[in-house]
Amino acid sequence: MALLKHIENNTSDDDLLKEYQRSHNQQTLAVLYLRYSDLVFGTCMKYFKNPETAQDAVMNIYQELVVKLQTHTVENFKSWLFVVTKNHCLMQLRKDKKTITVEFQPTFMQSEDFSHLDNILEKEKELEKLTNCIDGLNNEQKKIIKLFYLEEKCYNEIVDITGEDWNKVRSLVQNGRRNLKICMEKNG
């Protein structure tokens, strides 16, 4: 322990870093890391806002350093460590964001009652009626309505596709919509 204090007080960051990279002695790295462990913990707390998660991150970052410092060239250890810490926290948050956890609730279970299928059947009937009504439009309106509603084209795109005048396209969409509404109401 006295040796660690001696190393800690009298040796520069650069010297400790070079010694670790030369010898791979984790005790040397531990001395260097402990100098900035409060900085690492504080940065982790800023991101995670949870002491246990932050402490886990401090330990994981140390393990990262064991590997990274064997291959990376570091000019300023404190600045480099801050960037490693920040990146570690961001990656962890991104990873946690992708993992969606949902609490199981028995009320979400499908019941034996098949009434939920009634809505699907009703929508299918409506869709069939709409398809029949679209087919009942004149060819010009049918083409424009399909482009506007089914292919989700805007007026300008329809003008480019059909070569029709913009006002005529607008008129065909409005008249087609009105005719569809009349047809749907008529067919109940």
Examine residue 110 and state whether it is found in any structural domain, yes or no. no
Alpha helices in 72-165 (DSSP H): 77-98, 116-135, 139-145, 155-162
Q: Are residues 9 and 94 in the same domain?
A: yes
- Give the pLDDT of the chain (188 residues) as one tens digit per residue: 444 444 556 799 999 999 999 999 999 999 999 999 999 999 999 999 999 999 999 999 999 999 999 888 899 999 999 999 999 999 998 887 766 555 666 555 555 555 666 677 788 888 888 888 888 899 999 998 888 888 888 889 999 999 999 999 999 999 989 998 898 888 87
- Considering the domain boundaries, does residue 108 fall inside one? no
Q: Is the pTM of this model over 0.75?
A: no
Provide the CATH number for the domain around residue 68. 1.10.1740.10
Instruction: Give me the domain span that covers residue 154.
Output: 116-186
Mark whether 55 and 141 lie in a shared domain: no
What is the 3-state composition of the chain as percent helix, strand, coil, each rounded to the nearest 5?
Answer: 80, 0, 20
75 and 47 belong to one structural domain: yes
* Together in a domain, 86 and 136: no
Q: Residue 47: its pLDDT value, please?
A: 92
Task: Give SS3 for 31.
Answer: helix
CATH number at residue 129: 1.10.10.10
